[in-house]
Amino acid sequence: MTERTRTRAQARRERTLDQVRRAETAALVRSDIAHAAIALHGTPVLLLDPERVRRQYRRLEAALPFVAFHYAVKALSHPAVIDALAEEGCGFDVATGEELTLVSGVPRDRIIHTHPIKKPSEIRAAIADGIRTFVVDNETELEKFAGAPEDVRLLVRLAYRSPNAKSDLSSKFGLGPFEAERLVIRALERGIRVCGFSFHVGSQLDDPGRFVTAIERTLRLLDRLEAILPVRLDTLDIGGGFPVAYDAAVTDLETLADRIRSVLEPRADRLRILAEPGRILAAEAMTLVTSVVGVAERPDGRWYYLDDGVYGSYSNVIAEDVHPLVFALRDLDACPPADAAHRWATLAGPTCDSADVIAREVLLPDLRVGDLLASPAMGAYTSVTATRFNGREATPIAIVGTGVRTGEVRTASSLQTVP
């Protein structure tokens, strides 16, 4: 394929994504329940549909039926998401004692603790709470498990660098194969039980080959260590990283799963295979609705100032360098939005910091103060990483999923009736 045809094909896929996201956003924001949520909370408001989380979980399960999924609570720790996944039978991956309290109703054998560095007191509390699977990647951490109950099982975290991922999760944690071998030997010497390996190929990584390589290398290491050491390594945790289409199409879940299945399925009868997806389950379940609070003409064109920004729900723009789509609500049927009244604009957040810029060169109709905008796929790593900078309140989350009647808009902690 020439560069030119590739670029055209890519542009076509992106146009399709734009159309799909506009249609989904239109259906949501025009629903009675979304109107009720916006009427109740004003803007900004995050509209959360837990049904979409369920749907994504079912897709994952169907695509990789031999994998035990543990939702990475850090992506979006809202109780409605946790309840929906717990009902579906999903497990949970927690990184802190605080996250563990969020899944208090879930059977403990469905929870894994995957932070490679933990306070000793946190380990003690988690063990007392019934958690039995933990992750280590160094000798100091391993020593914290000396004398732990016999059924505590440790996974050694491996590093597979992914410069193309939005977040390379092997730059801070993880071991190479030789260091991992030394750690397993050390655990054997200390009588601490290591049951296998975990890794994370990097978050928002659109590269099926990286998953395949990481799995193959880990299986080779596992086979080698079982051959030379008196150890049974029966668990492989393939982490998270499954990508989401923000402003560009990505490999779809089923295609990625096919590649993973080809290397993993033959081993599924002897191995307990885990995964810790976060983004793929949560991202598409939440839509942000904001409004314009200011308009200015600057030397580089029109600027719109919104009532949420990168210090709030758009924290993913800064922390992860993802680029959520932003649509004007009255423009949702226009695709492509090309009439003469449209112009390229910069979108900024409400704080006084110059870094609070959400997006540049967004094609928008003429907007006025009070006009509404929406960003789809705002469920993962948004509200959880938002700050209170400039004294701003956290953006409320309203549940708008199937089963919620127009008169009821559930917030995080209460059920309120819209007059």
Asked if 277 touches ligand PLP (CB under 6 A), the answer is yes
Among this protein's residues, is 352 annotated catalytic? yes
Q: How far apart are CA 222 and CA 286, in angstroms?
A: 39
Nearer to ligand PLP, 56 or 203 (CB): 203
Residue of 60, 75, 112, 288 interacting with ligand PLP (CB under 6 A): 75
Residue closest to ligand PLP (Cβ): 240
Asked if 208 touches ligand PLP (CB under 6 A), the answer is no
Q: Minimal distance in Å, beta carbon 218 to ligand PLP? A: 15
**Cα 125 from chain centroid (whole Å):** 26
Q: Minimal distance in Å, beta carbon 96 to ligand PLP? A: 11
Stretch that binds ligand PLP, among 4-12, 35-43, 53-61, 239-247 (CB under 6 A): 239-247
Residue of 18, 49, 93, 141 interacting with ligand PLP (CB under 6 A): 93
Q: How far apart are CA 282 and CA 395, in angstroms?
A: 17
Residue 272 pairs in a beta bridge with 235
Q: Minimal distance in Å, beta carbon 180 to ligand PLP? A: 16
Judging by DSSP bridges, how do beta strands 301-306 and 133-136 pair with one another? unpaired
Q: Which of 90, 195, 335, 352 is labelled catalytic?
A: 352
Stretch that binds ligand PLP, among 81-89, 147-155, 272-280, 295-303 (CB under 6 A): 272-280
Q: Minimal distance in Å, beta carbon 157 to ligand PLP? A: 8
Residue of 22, 78, 279, 392 interacting with ligand PLP (CB under 6 A): 279
Asked if 242 touches ligand PLP (CB under 6 A), the answer is yes
- First-to-last CA distance in the chain? 58
Judging by DSSP bridges, how do beta strands 397-399 and 45-48 pair with one another? parallel
Residues 6+ apart with CB under 8 A from 179: none
Judging by DSSP bridges, how do beta strands 235-237 and 272-275 pair with one another? parallel
Residue of 99, 141, 168, 276 interacting with ligand PLP (CB under 6 A): 276
Q: Could you give the 3-state DSSP secondary structure of residue 314?
A: coil
CB-neighbour burial class of residue 47 (10 A; exposed 0-12, middle 13-18, buried 19+): buried
Closest CA to 247 of 345, 358, 397: 358
Asked if 132 touches ligand PLP (CB under 6 A), the answer is no
Residue 153 pairs in a beta bridge with 133
Instruction: Tell me which residues touch ligand PLP (CB under 6 A).
Output: 72, 75, 93, 114, 169, 200, 203, 239-242, 276-280
> What residues are annotated to the active site?
352
